[in-house]
Amino acid sequence: MLGWLRNKKRRDLMAAPFPQQWQTILENRVWLYHMLTPEEQQRLRADMAVFIAEKSWEGCGGLEMTDEVKLVVSAHACMLTLNIENNRYYPNVESILVYPTGYTSIARTVRPGGFIEEVPSARIGEAWHAGPIVLSWEDVLAGSLGHSGANNVTLHEFAHKLDMLSGGADGVPELDSDAAYTTWAEVMSHHYQVLLIHIHHHGHTVLNPYAATNPAEFFAVATETYFMRPHHLLEAMPELYTVLSAYYRYTGWGAQNASHGAGV
């Protein structure tokens, strides 16, 4: 019964007219919205209506939670899952916390002997395994407008949440088949090792060097690059681009947006 009621509420939200003021915010504040086809834009708006209604939104550090904040964040979250039928609305995300700018969190490290060291750490975003998404609005908006090159903190943190749906944050989201897992492991492992070598030798890479932190960050950074600079990723790492296209199920994303890349 609960599932039926939830699905009915979702259908009602998706069928309701999308407010014109929301449409204006999307067109003016979300650069990637213009990269979608009209049919994809329509589906994105419907998914956003559900996502906004179902999540708990909280402004932190003095930020006033507005429709603009909700729309910009939800547009990127829903763009990741637009063509993924399962988990379209992130069942592992209940709340989204947004600060005005970068914020300080406490990083805890277990030292030898069981001693726990707590060190302040500057952050612009976090994705907690059994908790919320935390974001810096300043950085969310910069990425949304295409002012941060290939960097987009919202795509990055929600990619972590997709990764976590399969268990831990290990850089492997839920895939459709054993063959898909095999291909994923081969391609991701290869390009991760290549990235480590390039960074060691101070070579140029299309991916932000932060991707070399671990496989989870590699997936999140690769996701940012796939959406923000798809043509660059297609040219530099065609196998990685193909694997991500198979997962996110966008067809011709790099080719159709070759002349509209962020930062170009």
What single-letter DSSP state applies at residue 7?
H
Rounded-to-integer distance, Cα 19 and Cα 152, Å: 26
* CATH classification of the domain holding 230: 3.40.390.10
What is the phi/psi pair of residue 114, to 5°?
85, 5
Q: Does residue 118 belong to any structural domain of this protein?
A: yes
Range of the domain at 222: 2-256
Report if residue 261 sits inside a domain. Answer: no
Within a domain: residue 171? yes
Please count the structural domains in the chain.
Answer: 1
Residue 166 token pair = 């399969």
Q: What is the DSSP letter of 59?
A: E
Residue 262 forms part of a structural domain: no
Residue 126 in this model has a pLDDT that exceeds 70: yes
For residue 201, tell me if it sits in a domain: yes
Residue 264 belongs to some domain of the structure: no
pLDDT for position 254 = 60
The reported pLDDT for the residue numbered 204 is: 84
CB contact at 8 A, 168 and 129: yes
In a domain, 173, yes or no: yes
Q: Model confidence over 18-62: pLDDT tens digits?
A: 999 999 999 999 999 999 999 999 999 999 999 999 999 999 999
pLDDT tens digits for 68-88? 999 999 999 999 999 998 778
Condensed to tens digits (0 to 9), the pLDDT of residues 148-197 reads: 999 999 999 999 999 999 888 999 999 999 999 999 999 999 999 999 99
